[in-house]
Amino acid sequence: MIACHFNTLILTLAFLSGVIMSQSSITAQCGEDVTLSCTFPTLGLAANQQVNVTWKKPRADGPDLLVHSYSLGMEKQSEAYRGRTQLDPEGFAKGDASLRLRDVHIQDEGSYSCFVNSELGPWSEETSLTVLSMIPPTMVQEGEDITLSCSFEPERNLQLLNITWKKETAEGRDLLVHTYYNGRDQMLRQNKAYLGRTQLYPERFHEGIASLRLKNVQLADDGVYTCHVKPQLGVSGEETAITAQYGKDVTLTCIFPSKFKISFHRLSITWTKEGAQGQGLLVHRFYLKMNWREGQEEAYRGRTQLYPQEFPQGNASLRLSDVRLQDEGSYLCNVSCELGSWSQKISLIVLSTVPLPVPRS
Ligand SMILES: *[C@@H]1O[C@H](CO)[C@@H](O)[C@H](O)[C@H]1NC(C)=O
Ligand SMILES: *[C@@H]1O[C@H](CO)[C@@H](O)[C@H](O)[C@H]1NC(C)=O
Ligand SMILES: *[C@@H]1O[C@H](CO)[C@@H](O)[C@H](O)[C@H]1NC(C)=O
Ligand SMILES: *[C@@H]1O[C@H](CO)[C@@H](O)[C@H](O)[C@H]1NC(C)=O
C-alpha cells in the first residue's frame, strides 16, 4: 500500500483524483485523520436497542471493501483499513455511526457507504472522501523545466479522460494551468501565463500517469498545484457519446422503439444540433418519405444521410461525412409518427491531432 509519499518536487503540488460525488463530501490531506459522518434516525428506538453498522467502500473492479463493521459487539474490517478506523458504539443511541479514519492514504479516496440496521429497519448514507496529497515546496532555479507528478488508477475501456491541472491563488480563483478532454489538449482554455509551457503525456494515460511538464519555470509559478483526473462521461444520464476522427465519416446512432407499425407517410425524423445559444440548428429532416433541404444548416449541406431501409427496424441513425471540428456538440434525434414522438440526445466528440505549441526555451 502506497502511503503518503513526499517527493522532493520543486513546487508545492496537491494531487486530487477520482470522481466527485453529489453526496456529502469531505476533503483530507494525505496523512490526516478524518471523520466520515453518518447519522440515522433513532426516534422511538429504545436506548439499549441493538444496532448493526457496516461501512463499505464500493470498488469499480470487484466486491465492496469492508471498511468497518459492528454487530453484536463484534468488529470486522479489511486489511487495507486494519487499525486505522474507529466506530463509537456509544454514539449509536444518539443516531451517530460516524467513522473515524486515521492516517488517510491516497487509495482511501472514493465514496463510502454507511449501512445501519436497527429495529426501525435499514438506513444508509453515502459520503465521499477526496484525498489531497501535498508535496513540500523546494527551491527551484528560474528557467528550469520540471515535471509535476500525478498518477491515477487507470480503468479498462476508459476511452475519454478529463484531466485538469490548476494552480490555487490567494484570491481564491484557481488558474487553469492545463486541461485535456474530448481526447485532446484544450489549449485555448489555459491561463495565458502558461502559454506554450505545459505538456501532458497522452501516451502514458493508460498507465495512469497524468503528470505535467512545466517548462521555463518562473517566479510567479510558485504555488499549490492540483491535478484532477476523472472519466469524461457522456454528459447527462441518457445522452450517449460518439467519437469521430476529424476528416472521417461517422454514424450518429439513434435507435427508436419500433415495436409498433409505423406508417411511412407520417414518419418524420429530424436531426438538430444544439447551437451556441441553445437553439436547434437543423442538421437533417426527413418527412413525407423524403429528405428536405429547406432550413438545413449550410454547414451540413451534402454531408448527411439517413437510411430509410433501416427505419422499420427503428434505426434513424445519421451518417455524417467529412467530420469537422465545428461538428462537435450535442445532437438531438427526434422521431415522430402518428403514435407520438420520441427523441434521443447524442454528443459528438471530434478527435484530432492538434500539434502542441513549440515551447520557448
Ligand atoms: C445484527 O446482526 C446480527 C448478526 O448478523 C443479527 O443476528 C441481528 O439480527 C442484527 N440486528 C439487526 C437489528 O439487524
Ligand atoms: C472536466 O472537468 C472539469 C473540472 O473537474 C469540469 O469543470 C469540466 O466541465 C469537465 N469537462 C468535461 C468536458 O467533462
Ligand atoms: C443502422 O443502420 C446503419 C446503416 O445501415 C448501420 O450501419 C447501423 O449499424 C445500424 N445501427 C443499428 C444499431 O442497427
Ligand atoms: C419532436 O418532434 C415533434 C413533432 O415535430 C415535436 O412535437 C416534439 O416537441 C419534438 N421533441 C423534441 C424533444 O424536440
Q: From atom 14 of ligand 3, which residue's Cα is the shortest distance away?
A: 315
Atom of ligand 2 nearest to the CA of 233: 14
Ligand 2 near 181 CB (within 6 A): yes
pLDDT value of position 175: 92
- Whole-number Å distance, alpha carbon 146 to ligand 3 midpoint, is 49
- Whole-number Å distance, alpha carbon 52 to ligand 1 midpoint, is 6
Ligand 3 near 242 CB (within 6 A): no
Q: From atom 10 of ligand 3, which residue's Cα is the shortest distance away?
A: 315
Task: Name residues of the chain where pLDDT drops below 70.
Answer: 1-23, 44, 60-61, 132-140, 153-160, 182, 231-239, 257-264, 338-340, 353-361
Ligand 3 near 216 CB (within 6 A): no
User: Relative to the alpha carbon of 337, which ligand is closest?
Assistant: 4
Ligand 3 near 315 CB (within 6 A): yes
pTM higher than 0.85, yes or no?
Answer: no
Domain 140-231: give its CATH architecture. Sandwich (2.60)
Domain 240-351 in the same topology as domain 21-132: yes
H or E element, residue 130: strand 121-135
Ligand 2 near 330 CB (within 6 A): no
pLDDT value of position 134: 56
Distance between CA atoms of 223 and 244, rounded to whole angstroms? Answer: 38
pLDDT value of position 252: 96
Q: Read off the pLDDT of residues 16-26 as tens digits, 9 standing for 90 and up.
A: 333 332 357 78
Q: Read off the pLDDT of residues 227-281 as tens digits, 9 standing for 90 and up.
A: 877 765 433 335 678 999 999 999 999 887 664 455 667 789 999 999 888 889 9
Kindly list the domain boundaries of the chain, sorted by start residue.
21-132, 140-231, 240-351
The fold of the 240-351 domain, in CATH, is Immunoglobulin-like (2.60.40)
Q: Tell me which of 2.60.40.10, 3.20.20.140, 1.10.3720.10, 3.40.50.300 is the CATH number of domain 21-132.
A: 2.60.40.10
- Whole-number Å distance, alpha carbon 341 to ligand 4 midpoint, is 6
> Could you give the 3-state DSSP secondary structure of residue 227?
strand
Contact 186, 180 (CB under 8 A): yes
pLDDT value of position 232: 57
DSSP letters, 177-222, are: EEEEETTEE-GGGS-GGGTTTEE--GGGGGGTB--EEE-S--GGG-
